[in-house]
């Protein structure tokens, strides 16, 4: 019987390392040796509160849905892959309509009762394993998931060539959105972020104007920077009502607001009178669609920088410490390397 090491969440703030039986690939699956796992804001909800929204911890759970690995056996053995954490059913009306990210039967890594990537080996569906160039580091490959989330949000926002964009929240997904907005042809990109080191990263990665939400009326500053109108599209990537309000206040009349953040509580509030007077279109973004090939091409072409977003690395044995660093928001992306 093959064994492996896994990090399981037993309760809020309680990550334990243990040895357990390694998975075996079933029909349509391949065994993957996990090489890198990025810690995401939704992972921090699980770590900090023992759940997220209406999904709560009912057994020790392996977190981690931003992950990369190498196929361990079979015809594709040795192939480096990005792992799509979502396993939709493929046969419901939503899947058949092309909205696999909205599948009500989806199995999602590191969520609910479905174990994720913070372990040495994973058996995962072959069609969800996306080969990447050999030049990609393991951390680069794991970053394709947050890049994919940003790319899906951008698709929902439909930024126009020569248009204006605001990104509220400059964590890793927000920083990917800043870069994508610039590559999509926005002539003015505004980033809003309370943490100084993340504001610096936003400026370095393409934001024309970087604002501190604690320094004055941000909505007024955005309007002033866009000829008094506001931006065509505002992306909220922070997961709190203050960020949603800033996005609403920053959007121009007839503009769009895309909500990609996940709030601590299972509610979102925004200034309705402002949104109504502007006739805003508000869209909610759920994870991503089929974006891995596009995300891979963007990184391979040097059009999006994901490498510099990784600021902290830990071996699997220090997974608990990795969560604590990620929770403090000291840097940008924290990555755990199970194979280290």
pLDDT tens-digit series, residues 6-48: 999 999 999 999 999 999 999 999 999 999 999 998 899 899 8
Task: State the pLDDT at residue 53.
Answer: 77
**One domain for residues 177 and 81:** no
- In the predicted structure, residue 339 carries a pLDDT above the cut 90: no
* Residue linked to tokens 């755990």: 336
- In the predicted structure, residue 54 carries a pLDDT above the cut 80: no
The answer to whether 190 and 208 have CB atoms below 8 angstroms apart is: yes
**One domain for residues 73 and 137:** yes
pLDDT digit string (tens) for 160-205?
999 999 999 999 999 999 999 999 999 999 999 999 999 999 999 9
Reduce the DSSP state of residue 23 to 3 states and report it. coil
Read off the pLDDT band of 340 (50, 70, 90). low
**Is 268 a member of any domain?**
yes
**One domain for residues 23 and 139:** yes
**One domain for residues 115 and 180:** no
The answer to whether 147 and 305 have CB atoms below 8 angstroms apart is: no
pLDDT digit string (tens) for 92-151?
999 999 999 999 999 999 998 899 999 999 999 999 999 999 999 999 999 999 999 999
Whose CA is closest to 66, among 215, 173, 200? 173
pTM score of the predicted model: 0.95
**Is 296 a member of any domain?**
no
- In the predicted structure, residue 304 carries a pLDDT above the cut 90: yes
Strand partners, 167: 191, 235
**One domain for residues 139 and 154:** no
**One domain for residues 209 and 89:** no
Task: State the pLDDT at residue 264.
Answer: 79
Task: Give the chain's domain count.
Answer: 2
Task: State the pLDDT at residue 170.
Answer: 98
**Is 333 a member of any domain?**
yes
pLDDT digit string (tens) for 229-269?
999 999 999 999 999 999 999 999 999 999 999 887 888 99
**One domain for residues 9 and 84:** yes
**One domain for residues 127 and 16:** yes
**One domain for residues 265 and 156:** yes
Task: State the pLDDT at residue 1.
Answer: 72
Q: What is the mean pLDDT of residues 69-98?
A: 96
Q: What is the mean pLDDT of residues 211-229?
A: 93
**One domain for residues 213 and 276:** yes
**Is 297 a member of any domain?**
no
**Is 294 a member of any domain?**
no
Q: Print the domain residue range for 37.
A: 3-143+306-337
**Is 299 a member of any domain?**
no
Beta strands 80-83 and 66-71 are antiparallel
**One domain for residues 260 and 151:** yes
């Amino acid at each position: 019987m093959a064994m492996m090491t896994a990090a399981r969440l037993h309760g809020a703030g309680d990550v334990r390392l243990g040895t357990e039986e390694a998975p075996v690939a079933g029909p349509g699956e391949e065994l993957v040796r996990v090489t890198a796992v990025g810690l995401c804001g939704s992972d921090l909800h699980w770590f900090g509160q023992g759940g997220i929204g209406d999904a709560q911890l009912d057994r020790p759970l392996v977190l981690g849905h931003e992950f990369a690995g190498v196929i361990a056996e079979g015809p594709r053995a040795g192939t480096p892959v990005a792992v799509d954490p979502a396993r939709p059913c493929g046969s419901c009306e939503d899947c058949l309509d092309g909205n696999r990210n909205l599948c009500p039967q989806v199995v999602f890594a590191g969520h609910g009762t479905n174990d994720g990537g913070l372990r040495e080996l994973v058996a995962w569906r072959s069609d969800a394993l996306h080969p990447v160039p050999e030049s990609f580091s393991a951390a680069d490959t794991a970053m394709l998931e947050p890049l994919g989330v940003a790319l899906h949000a951008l698709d929902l926002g439909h930024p126009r060539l020569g248009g204006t964009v605001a990104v509220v929240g400059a964590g890793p997904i927000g920083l990917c959105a800043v870069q994508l907005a610039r590559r999509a042809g926005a002539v003015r990109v505004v980033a809003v972020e309370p943490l100084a080191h993340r504001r610096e990263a936003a400026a370095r990665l393409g934001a024309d104007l970087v604002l501190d939400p604690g320094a004055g009326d941000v909505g007024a500053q955005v309007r002033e920077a866009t000829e008094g109108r506001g931006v065509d599209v505002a992306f909220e990537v922070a997961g709190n009502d203050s960020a949603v309000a800033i996005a609403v206040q920053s959007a121009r009349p007839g503009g769009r607001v895309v909500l990609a953040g996940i709030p601590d509580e299972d509610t979102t509030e925004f200034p309705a009178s402002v949104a109504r007077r502007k006739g805003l279109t508000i869209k909610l973004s759920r994870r991503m669609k089929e974006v891995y090939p596009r995300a891979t091409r963007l990184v391979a072409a040097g059009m999006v920088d994901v490498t510099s977003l990784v600021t902290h690395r830990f071996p699997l044995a220090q997974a608990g410490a990795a969560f604590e660093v990620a929770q403090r928001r000291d840097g940008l992306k924290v990555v755990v390397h199970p194979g280290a």
